[in-house]
Amino acid sequence: MELIIQNIKKLVQVEDEPREKVTGKEMSVLNCIDNAYLVIKDGLISDFGAMTNQPAVSPNAKVINAEGKMVFPSFCDSHTHLVYAGSREIEYIDKIRGLSYEEIAKKGGGILNSAKLLHNTSEDELYAQSLERINEIISLGTGAVEIKSGYGLTVEDELKMLRVIRRLKDTTPITIMSTFLGAHAVPAGYKGRQTEYVDLIINEMIPRVAAEELADYIDVFCDKGFFTVDETERMLMAGMKYGLRAKIHANELDYSGGIQVGVKYGALSVDHLEFTGEDEIKTLLNSETMPTLLPGAAFFLGMEYPPARKMIDAGLPLAMASDYNPGSSPSGDMKFVMSLGCIIMRLLPEEVINAVTINSAYAMGISHTHGSIAKGKVANLFITKPIPSYEFMPYAYTSRLIDTVILNGEVV
Ligand code: NIG
Ligand code: FE
């Protein structure tokens, strides 16, 4: 099957020589082709260029006319918790009344509340609820998503979550990577016995997850009030024995040492990073770890934002993701994430587009196949409505600007 998109006003984020990520100053460069065509064959991008150079169109090809419209590679959302049961708007009210995220967690709310809801929800129902969220983010332009476990917190419930993620992988057209996050919180039954819970993760959960090949990565919430650096080290080492590379929740609530321990163990990404100082920046500069910002969580919780401008100016790459979850970011809207990057973190439109495509693809280990318009990459992309410029995307921050979504070369 051949699909050709013609007369594209601007083809955004094109690469002749695919890169695995873009760093520092390069982040403000976005390669585009005006008045372009794009050819898709067998689900992959096979050719693109300026209309003036378009080769003859084969009579069997399906043709889409994109006059006035732009084509972007799909967003890659490299950090979500979108498999969860129910919702937590009651805590949202507590928050409005003035309780902090940590205070809500201490009251038995937060992650433990979601764990209770998940325990009482069947695997089929959990799949159905999660599928709705997947369909929602597909319509919002996301073409690849990482999903974490971490609302199970028992062997069986963690496996239940990961099996739902696998079922979503098997039944939906979006690319999914899955992450085991048993160390999201200490479950109620292990209160005061945190070390025993860490032992359970190491001795039972990780081997079972690996035996069923349910996860691509391992994550730990390494932060004040959650897991310590020492515990994180133990769990990362255990995961690495089974080939699970780390992606860490770090420095959301404090200078937790999470960034340093992530880099030490070769984490693919360290995420959140609201508490990032000179030391953390220096550590990241000497690494292959992608600093990943989740501004939707800082927005929703009314907390500090990470020093994004400073990080790029220091020469770091940045990725951004939605953190879609019921407690700190009940939204998977990557276009809004871009707007937060621009409006609040003072990033340029080019920088945020790089952060939600090629760099977030890197942060989920798929930048060789996703995250840009390049020959041979998976044809996950979207056609916008008629828009004046690519800057209009983060600027018009509540407008629905996506016209057509294409995943694996097929119109969804
Ligand atoms: O990334 N920080 C840890 N975990 C999630 C929140 C999960 C929740 O509150 O349910 C986050 O923000
Ligand atoms: Fe998270």
Placement of tokens 């984020």 in the chain: 13
Neighbours of ion ligand 2 (CB under 5 A): 323
In this predicted structure, what is the pLDDT of residue 102? 79
Q: What is the CA radius of gyration of the chain?
A: 21
Q: Is the CB of 150 under 6 A from ligand 1?
A: no
Question: According to DSSP H, which parts of 51-144 are helical?
Answer: 89-97, 101-106, 111-119, 123-139
Give the residue with greater pLDDT, 216 vs 98: 216
Residue 93: is it exposed, middle or buried by C-beta count within 10 angstroms (0-12/13-18/19+)?
exposed
Average pLDDT over residues 13-17: 96
In 242-397 the beta strands, taken as DSSP E runs, fall at 245-250, 269-272, 290-293, 319-320, 381-386
Q: How far is the CA of 400 from the centre of ligand 1 (A)?
A: 27
Q: Of the bound ligands, which one is closest to the alpha carbon of residue 298? A: 1
Q: Whose CA is nearest to atom 9 of ligand 1?
A: 327
Give the residue with greater pLDDT, 410 vs 106: 410
CA distances from 106 to 98, 100, 103, 109, 258 (A): 14, 10, 5, 7, 21
Q: What CATH fold (topology level) applies to the domain 2-74+372-411?
A: Urease, subunit C; domain 1 (2.30.40)
Q: How far is the CA of 324 from the centre of ligand 1 (A)?
A: 9
Q: Whose CA is nearest to atom 8 of ligand 1?
A: 327
Written as one string, the DSSP assignment of 338-370 is HHHHHHTT---HHHHHHHHTHHHHHHTT-TTTS
Q: What CATH fold (topology level) applies to the domain 75-362?
A: TIM Barrel (3.20.20)
User: 146-204 pLDDT, tens per residue?
Assistant: 999 999 999 999 999 999 999 999 999 999 999 999 999 999 899 999 999 999 999 99
Ranges of each domain in the chain: 2-74+372-411, 75-362
Lowest-confidence range among 69-83, 86-100, 241-255, 267-281? 86-100
Count the residues in the chain. 412
Q: How far is the CA of 256 from the centre of ligand 1 (A)?
A: 16
User: 19-35 pLDDT, tens per residue?
Assistant: 999 999 999 999 999 99
Residue 103 pLDDT > 90: no
Q: Do the first three CATH levels of 2-74+372-411 and 75-362 match, i.e. the same topology?
A: no
Characterize 183-193 residue by residue with b for buried, 16 or more Cβ atoms within 10 angstroms of its Cβ, and e for exposed.
Answer: bbbbbeebeee
Q: Is the CB of 299 under 6 A from ligand 1?
A: no
C-alpha 322/C-alpha 106 separation (Å) is 25
Per-residue pLDDT band for 53 (boundaries 50, 70, 90) equals: very high
C-alpha 238/C-alpha 166 separation (Å) is 22
Q: Whose CA is nearest to atom 1 of ligand 1?
A: 323
Angle between helices 334-343 and 349-356 (to 10 degrees): 140
Q: Whose CA is nearest to atom 5 of ligand 1?
A: 328
Torsion, Cα of 277, 279, 281, 285 (10° steps)? 180
Please tell me whether residue 219 adopts helix, strand or coil conformation: strand
Residue 107 pLDDT > 90: no
What is the CA angle 64-70-75, rounded to 5? 105
Q: Whose CA is nearest to atom 3 of ligand 1?
A: 221
Q: How far is the CA of 82 from the centre of ligand 2 (A)?
A: 10
Six-digit token string for 395: 């600027």
Q: How far is the CA of 4 from the centre of ligand 1 (A)?
A: 41
Residue 108 pLDDT > 80: no
Kindly report the average pLDDT of the chain as a whole number.
96
